[in-house]
Amino acid sequence: MILIDHDECIFCGGCSSVCPASAIELRGTRVATYPEKCIDCGLCVKACPANVIEMFKGIKRVEDLPEEVRKKYNV
Amino acid sequence: MADIETDVVVVGAGPAGSTFARIAAQHGLDVVVFDKRKEIGNPVRCGEGLGVAEVMKEGLDLPRYTYSIEIYGAKVVGPKGQEIILRNENTRGWVLERKYFDKWLAELAIGKGAKVYAYHRAFDVKRDADGITLYVADGDEKVKEIRAKMLISAEGMEALIARKLGFPTVHRLYDVDTCYQYEMEPYDHENLIELYFGNEIAPRGYVWIFPKAHKRANVGIGIGAHLATGNKRGGLPGATPKVFLDKFIVNDVQLKEASSLLNFGGVISVGEPINKFVDDRVMVIGTAAKQVDPIHGGGIELAMEAGVMAAEAAAKAFEKSDMSKDFLYNNYEAVWRSTRGKEIETRLKLRKALESLSDDDLNHIFDTLSGDDVLAVMEGKLAGPIAKVLKGRPSLLKVLKPLMLG
């Protein structure tokens, strides 16, 4: 799955346009991600011009993320 | 029972969608346009450059508030700082104020009878034998059901609705540039768009300076997204467009002293158009169809042009009551591919040749070619300039050969 630093996100939709799994969508004023669809390809991480996306390979649920990561991203 | 019934529903009120809506409404069709942004044209995600050709062709007269300044041409700069000036009748254009330009295009469509809804996000679509149902959510996430005989996807880069209808709108990383831009001030300029090339400056891309009024300028960069390495992924740290752009700015005499008023970024397509623009009851136009110039990533002119073509095709389709894929293909897609498509194909080959050049090769080309040569290349007349380049550096034959064959 991926996490996005929403404070630094510039809301350009670049991640969504390269996501082959339709796992990222611009919704309202926020980028929504669907971890169950994410295939951990990392294309969004590379395309992101603001460098605000981090990938956590093999993890599908927020609960399984390391504690410090959850704190950092406030999830 | 649907909330709204119409002849044509358009997703996206950018230059493609609004141009389509204007011409289709002019032909007497009922057109409803939805845009997910709270305000048409805002936020701006664009360098805002527009050439003179499309606007002239359509006989449009840009109101003064829709653009920042007029442009006379371009200054193209090589890795060593060599400058080539491109300036003639065809290089004229504008640096727009997209916020106002897009609103103006939407207003022209409204003036012809189209209905436009901002802050309405299309999120799902269903097609059956009799028509298309589009589901949109308004600002309060209240869902509305739109029933139409035809749908136009003018959604831009993401193109989620077109994707749901089976169009291959996902971008390959290799075929996009990841971009960052500042609006800066003060910057003295000569009413020329400035483009800087070099592998150290912007790998597989370029830095642009688009001057604006009151000594402002859009200063931006695009680099090949496949070459960018988000450092959070554990790759080469710092290979992001912002890092390259910041490096350019501290090395520029003027810009290093300038302030920034606005930061933003985005991803632009520099690849080939998608392999189908139409299906039963559906046409995809503009950036959603990846109708973007592969050299500079500009899409406004192409979007407006496709909007006109698709609207003419829609008018015919309603006249003949034929919304089939074949009819739409013959009247829109085939027309586009046999005209503009050919030109884009050549420019894609040119992009691929350019991206394989070293800075040494680029320097040779910048030292060899004149402004007229580069203008000829931009118009697709490649033979003369290529011969000139090869004369001094025959080793480039391999790279440039695909261009000579067609």
CATH number of the domain to which A56 belongs: 3.30.70.20
- Report ipTM for this prediction: 0.85
- DSSP-assigned letter for residue B134: E
Paired strand residues for B279 = B282
What's the pLDDT at B406?
52
Question: What is the topology classification, in CATH, of domain B173-269?
Answer: D-Amino Acid Oxidase; Chain A, domain 2 (3.30.9)
The torsion angles phi and psi of B181, rounded to 5 degrees, stand at -145, 140
Query: CATH number of the domain at B4-68+96-170+273-342, out of 3.50.50.60, 3.30.300.30, 3.30.930.10, 3.40.50.720?
Result: 3.50.50.60
Structure tokens at B383: 């033979």
Q: Which A-chain residues 1-40 have CB contacts (< 8 A) with chain B?
A: 10-14, 16-20, 22, 25-28
Query: What tens digit of pLDDT does each residue of B282-300 get?
Result: 999 999 999 999 988 889 9
Which residue in A has a C-alpha nearest to residue B268's C-alpha? A14
- DSSP-assigned letter for residue B42: B
Using the beta-carbon criterion (under 8 Å), do A12 and B226 form an inter-chain contact?
no
Quick check: B45 and B18 in contact, CB under 8 A? Answer: no
What's the pLDDT at B403?
86
- DSSP-assigned letter for residue B229: B
Give the gap in angstroms from C-alpha B324 to the nearest C-alpha of chain A: 28
Block residue for tokens 């829109």: B332
For B17-54, give one letter per residue: b (16+ CB within 10 A) or e: bbbbbbbbbbbebbbbbbbbbeebbebbbbbbbbbbeb
Contact B228/A at CB under 8 A: yes
* Collapsed DSSP state (helix, strand, coil) of residue A26: strand
Q: Spell out, as residue ranges, where chain B has pLDDT lower than 70.
A: 229-238, 405-406
Give the gap in angstroms from C-alpha A39 to the nearest C-alpha of chain B: 15
Selection from B267, B300, B102, B87 nearest residue B194 by Cα: B87
Quick check: B97 and B42 in contact, CB under 8 A? Answer: no
What is the distance in angstroms between the CA of the first residue and the CA of the last residue of chain A?
A: 13
Selection from A59, A75, A11, A9 nearest residue B157 by Cα: A11
Can you give the pTM of this predicted structure? 0.94
Selection from B230, B223, B240 nearest residue B177 by Cα: B223
Which residues of chain B are in CATH 3.50.50.60 domains? 4-68+96-170+273-342
CB nearest to A10's CB, from B141, B172, B264:
B264
Selection from A58, A28, A33, A36 nearest residue A44 by Cα: A33
CA B36 to CA B136: how far, in whole Å? 9
CA B183 to CA B240: how far, in whole Å? 18
Using the beta-carbon criterion (under 8 Å), do B267 and A50 form an inter-chain contact?
no
Which chain A residues touch B169 with a CB distance below 8 Å?
17
Give the gap in angstroms from C-alpha A41 to the nearest C-alpha of chain B: 11
Structure tokens at B340: 């503009």
Q: In terms of residue numbers, what domain contains A52?
A: 2-73
CB nearest to B233's CB, from A16, A28, A42:
A42
Which chain A residues touch B118 with a CB distance below 8 Å?
none
Which chain B residues touch A4 with a CB distance below 8 Å?
none
CA B185 to CA B259: how far, in whole Å? 5
Using the beta-carbon criterion (under 8 Å), do B231 and A11 form an inter-chain contact?
no
What is the residue type of B83?
A: E
Count: domains in chain A? 1
